[in-house]
Amino acid sequence: MPHVVAALEPSLAFRFVRTRLDRRADLRDDAAAIAALWRAETARVLVLHGGRVVVASAADGATTATHDTATAARLGGDVTAPLFLGLEAGDGRFAVASASDDETLPEGFAAIDLRALAVSGALPAEDYGTLATARALMHWHDGHRFCARCGTASEMVSAGWKRLCPSCGAEHFPRTDPVVIMSVEDGERCLLGRSARFPPGMWSCLAGFMEPGETIEGAVRRETAEEAGIVVGAVAYVASEPWPFPGSLMIGARARAITTEIRRDPVELEDCRWFDRAEVRAMLEGRHPDGLFLPPPIAIAHHLVTAFARAATDR
């Protein structure tokens, strides 16, 4: 069915949510229909090389990540095995992997990291959700070329939405890894942490992968206790965001702290502490006296912390 969203849906604030795609799962096993969509002049293709997206710059300064099939081939895309993403206004949308590097790209084209593209906002807003789908799907194929049951090389089928083992018949489907990310709050304070991989000065919400047999609420409580030693009570879901680095679903929540003494796990966190609302606002506004800052608006963490910072004013 077409991509329909509620006007006030909180997730729409996040960069990788918006898309015009109608995924049309009913077409994935219709080889003739997919071939016809690919041959049509209106077919448009995303060309990706690892984490980078091949974009073209127009004379008017506009940037585009969608190309016709002939251009996709010229950019080094593997047009023999396109991934069918869905339809936009009835026209086919595909993604292909490219072996090109910066030196072999034609003039006027460049391969840019998807995260950098998202931060810049250079593309139309509705392109980012489509790119998130393409990058996550392509990454899954790269890492699942062999059957997990018997080890035989598997084959891409269903227009890229399944891999089939020709030996044992096992079917393998694209994987999405759910991650909880939470604003843990104690009245006028919010708990933030620093990973060793963060840029100097950046702080963010605590986060962690969900485990089998676990609820969202249970994962929030477990991860907060493991990373910071804080016991959490009430947990409220806020919104979610596809995060194609490489293929996660970030599930945002606000949580109420029951205890406040931090017992940081040094393996998980380089630092962890409480921030009051005034300090959080200073970080959001780029005026923290120590130069501390938060993730950019493309990340759900930015919006969770913003919600905390505004809560006192909203009450």
**Over 90: is that where the pLDDT of 285 sits?**
yes
User: What region does 276 belong to: left with phi over 0, alpha with psi -120 to 50, or beta?
Assistant: beta
Q: Is 221 helix (H, G, I), strand (E, B) or coil?
A: helix
Segment 286-310 mean pLDDT: 95
What whole-number distance in Å separates Cα of residue 44 and Cα of residue 36? 13
pLDDT of residue 254: 97
What whole-number distance in Å separates Cα of residue 210 and Cα of residue 178? 6
**Over 90: is that where the pLDDT of 9 sits?**
no
pLDDT in tens, 256-281: 999 999 999 999 999 999 999 999 99
Least-confidence region, from 8-17, 116-125, 276-285: 8-17
Answer whether 4's CB lies under 8 Å from 22's CB.
no
Do the domains spanning 10-143 and 177-314 agree at the CATH topology level?
yes
Least-confidence region, from 22-26, 48-52, 153-157, 226-230: 48-52
Closest CA to 136 of 17, 246, 18, 14: 246
Answer whether 240's CB lies under 8 Å from 250's CB.
yes
Place of tokens 């194929």: 141
Q: How confident is the model at residue 214 (pLDDT cuts 50, 70, 90)?
A: very high
pLDDT of residue 59: 67
**Over 70: is that where the pLDDT of 296 sits?**
yes
Least-confidence region, from 34-38, 93-97, 165-169, 307-311: 307-311
Least-confidence region, from 6-15, 117-126, 158-167, 301-310: 6-15
- Is the domain spanning 10-143 CATH 1.10.10? The answer is no
What whole-number distance in Å separates Cα of residue 237 and Cα of residue 252? 6
**Over 50: is that where the pLDDT of 230 sits?**
yes
Segment 217-236 mean pLDDT: 98
Segment 153-177 mean pLDDT: 97
Answer whether 155's CB lies under 8 Å from 163's CB.
yes
Where does 177-314 sit in CATH, by number? 3.90.79.10
pLDDT of residue 105: 86
- The residues near 180 (Cβ < 8 Å, ≥ 6 apart) are 207, 208, 210, 216, 219, 220, 223, 251, 253
**Over 90: is that where the pLDDT of 115 sits?**
yes
**What residue spans define the domains of the chain?**
10-143, 147-174, 177-314
Segment 300-308 mean pLDDT: 95
Least-confidence region, from 107-111, 171-175, 259-263: 107-111
Least-confidence region, from 55-64, 129-138, 249-258: 55-64
pLDDT of residue 283: 96
Higher pLDDT, 50 or 67: 67
What whole-number distance in Å separates Cα of residue 232 and Cα of residue 267? 21
Q: How confident is the model at residue 315 (pLDDT cuts 50, 70, 90)?
A: very low
pLDDT in tens, 58-94: 767 789 999 999 999 999 999 998 999 999 999 999 9
**Percent of the chain beyond pLDDT 90?**
87
Higher pLDDT, 314 or 255: 255
